[in-house]
A = this chain, B = another copy of it.
Protein backbone atom coordinates (compact mmCIF):
# COMPACT_ATOMS: atom_id res chain seq x y z
CA UNK A 1 0.00 0.00 0.00
CA UNK A 2 1.18 3.47 -0.81
CA UNK A 3 2.39 5.64 2.03
CA UNK A 4 -0.07 8.30 3.13
CA UNK A 5 0.92 11.74 1.96
CA UNK A 6 1.07 13.22 5.42
CA UNK A 7 3.08 10.46 7.03
CA UNK A 8 5.91 12.96 7.31
CA UNK A 9 3.94 15.93 8.66
CA UNK A 10 3.82 17.01 12.30
CA UNK A 11 1.21 19.64 13.16
CA UNK A 12 2.29 21.67 16.19
CA UNK A 13 -0.48 23.11 18.34
CA UNK A 14 -0.61 23.91 22.01
CA UNK A 15 0.30 20.54 23.55
CA UNK A 16 3.49 20.18 25.61
CA UNK A 17 6.66 20.24 23.42
CA UNK A 18 7.55 16.66 24.41
CA UNK A 19 4.45 15.40 22.54
CA UNK A 20 5.71 16.82 19.24
CA UNK A 21 9.33 15.83 19.90
CA UNK A 22 8.04 12.27 20.34
CA UNK A 23 6.09 12.46 17.04
CA UNK A 24 9.26 13.56 15.23
CA UNK A 25 11.26 10.71 16.78
CA UNK A 26 8.57 8.19 15.85
CA UNK A 27 8.56 9.29 12.20
CA UNK A 28 12.36 9.25 11.95
CA UNK A 29 12.32 5.74 13.47
CA UNK A 30 10.28 4.63 10.44
CA UNK A 31 13.21 5.55 8.21
CA UNK A 32 11.51 8.66 6.92
CA UNK A 33 14.31 11.22 6.85
CA UNK A 34 12.45 14.41 6.03
CA UNK A 35 9.64 15.87 8.11
CA UNK A 36 7.51 18.96 7.58
CA UNK A 37 6.61 20.70 10.82
CA UNK A 38 3.49 22.82 10.33
CA UNK A 39 1.83 25.30 12.62
CA UNK A 40 -0.29 28.41 12.57
CA UNK A 41 -1.23 31.48 14.56
CA UNK A 42 -0.02 31.67 18.12
CA UNK A 43 1.25 28.08 18.04
CA UNK A 44 3.99 29.07 15.58
CA UNK A 45 6.28 29.91 18.51
CA UNK A 46 5.80 26.31 19.75
CA UNK A 47 6.91 24.94 16.37
CA UNK A 48 10.01 27.16 16.42
CA UNK A 49 10.80 26.23 20.04
CA UNK A 50 10.49 22.57 19.02
CA UNK A 51 12.89 22.78 16.11
CA UNK A 52 15.34 24.86 18.17
CA UNK A 53 15.28 22.14 20.84
CA UNK A 54 15.85 19.43 18.21
CA UNK A 55 18.72 21.48 16.72
CA UNK A 56 20.38 21.97 20.11
CA UNK A 57 20.15 18.26 20.85
CA UNK A 58 21.77 17.62 17.46
CA UNK A 59 18.89 15.56 16.08
CA UNK A 60 17.97 17.57 13.01
CA UNK A 61 18.97 20.08 10.39
CA UNK A 62 16.60 22.73 9.07
CA UNK A 63 16.30 22.57 5.31
CA UNK A 64 13.67 25.21 4.60
CA UNK A 65 11.28 27.61 6.32
CA UNK A 66 8.23 29.02 4.57
CA UNK A 67 5.44 31.23 5.85
CA UNK A 68 2.05 31.91 4.33
CA UNK A 69 -1.33 33.25 5.34
CA UNK A 70 -4.84 31.92 4.91
CA UNK A 71 -7.94 34.06 4.71
CA UNK A 72 -10.75 33.26 7.09
CA UNK A 73 -14.31 34.42 6.69
CA UNK A 74 -16.79 34.66 9.52
CA UNK A 75 -20.13 32.92 8.99
CA UNK A 76 -22.03 35.79 10.58
CA UNK A 77 -19.90 38.73 9.47
CA UNK A 78 -19.15 38.17 5.79
CA UNK A 79 -17.53 41.60 5.46
CA UNK A 80 -14.95 40.88 8.13
CA UNK A 81 -11.93 38.99 6.91
CA UNK A 82 -8.97 37.94 8.95
CA UNK A 83 -5.72 36.37 7.91
CA UNK A 84 -4.04 33.66 9.88
CA UNK A 85 -0.31 33.18 9.39
CA UNK A 86 1.13 29.72 9.10
CA UNK A 87 4.60 28.22 8.93
CA UNK A 88 6.13 25.13 7.32
CA UNK A 89 9.55 24.02 8.49
CA UNK A 90 11.24 21.21 6.59
CA UNK A 91 13.69 19.29 8.74
CA UNK A 92 16.00 16.38 8.05
CA UNK A 93 17.38 13.72 10.37
CA UNK A 94 20.98 14.26 11.42
Task: Give chain A's interface residues, CB within 8 Å of chain B.
Answer: 41-42, 44-45, 48-49, 51-53, 55-56, 62, 65-69, 83, 85, 87
Q: Give the interface SS of chain A, mostly helix, strand, loop or mixed.
A: helix
CB contacts (< 8 Å) of A53 on chain B: these are 83
Determine if A83 and B52 form an interchain contact, defined as CB atoms under 8 angstroms apart.
yes
CB contacts (< 8 Å) of A65 on chain B: these are 65-67
Determine if B52 and A69 form an interchain contact, defined as CB atoms under 8 angstroms apart.
yes
CB contacts (< 8 Å) of A44 on chain B: these are 44-45, 48
A48 to chain B, nearest CB (A): 5
Given A65-B65, A65-B67, A67-B62, A85:B52 Cβ within 8 A: yes
